[in-house]
């Protein structure tokens, strides 16, 4: 039996796994603060629910990432403080982030998250970490589908030019 043939949790993390999980925790910390700010600016109730769900999912991921990093003796990245709640009316109209802007930003984060999770899964040699990222990926994809449906329903989605004509073959 080699060094990497026993219980995955007894195996050391390689530098790529450490960097990916540490960076993920750092990014989630920033996203939580950003989404809490978006919640303050959000006027649409359905979008606000998705933002709250996103904050909760990021916090759940952070619990797993923190446990993994601590168990492997890795120091944790800094986290900004929780954002206070504000009412939309307290924010001047010209300074508000609009719901379509929030939706687009959230969609960008979903897309980037899916890529990052796939990349991390591909570099893992520890099965437990790869499986954890597989779960994160599945959750993010399901969340992305809900966000896409909401964006379409609300008219916030701006599609690229659609290819609807097929040239004649004459």
* Secondary structure string (H, E, C) spanning the chain: CCCCCCCHHHCCCCHHHHHHHHHHHHHHHHHHHHHHHHHHHCCCHHHHHHHHHHHHHHHHHHHHHHHHHHHCCCCCCCCCCCCCCCCHHHCCHHHCCCHHHHHHHHHHHHHHHHHHHHHHHHHCCCHHHHHHHHHHHHHHHHHHHHHHHHHHHHCCCCCCCCCCCCCCCC
CATH superfamily of 13-154: Ferritin, core subunit, four-helix bundle (1.20.1260.10)
Quote the pLDDT of residue 164.
84
Domain locations in the chain as residue ranges: 13-154
Task: Please report, in tens digits, the pLDDT of each residue of the chain (170 residues total).
Answer: 345 566 667 788 999 999 999 999 999 999 999 999 999 999 999 999 999 999 999 999 999 999 999 999 999 999 999 999 998 898 998 999 999 999 999 999 999 999 999 999 999 999 999 999 999 999 999 999 999 999 999 999 998 898 888 777 76
What pTM was computed for the model?
0.88
């Amino acid at each position: 039996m080699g060094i990497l043939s026993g219980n995955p949790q007894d195996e050391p993390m390689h530098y790529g796994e450490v960097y990916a999980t540490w960076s993920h925790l750092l990014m989630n910390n920033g996203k939580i603060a950003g989404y809490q700010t978006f919640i303050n600016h959000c006027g649409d109730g359905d979008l606000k629910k998705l933002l709250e769900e996103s904050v909760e999912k990021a916090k759940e991921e952070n619990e797993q990432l923190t446990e993994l990093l601590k168990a492997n003796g890795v120091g944790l990245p800094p986290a900004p403080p929780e954002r206070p709640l504000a009412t939309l009316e307290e924010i001047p109209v010209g300074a508000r982030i609009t719901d379509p802007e929030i939706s687009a930003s959230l969609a960008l984060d979903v897309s980037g998250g899916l890529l990052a999770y796939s990349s991390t899964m591909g570099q893992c040699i520890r099965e437990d970490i790869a499986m954890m990222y597989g779960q994160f990926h599945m959750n993010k994809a399901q969340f992305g589908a809900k966000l896409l449906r909401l964006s379409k329903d609300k008219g916030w989605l701006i599609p690229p030019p659609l290819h609807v004509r097929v040239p004649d073959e004459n």
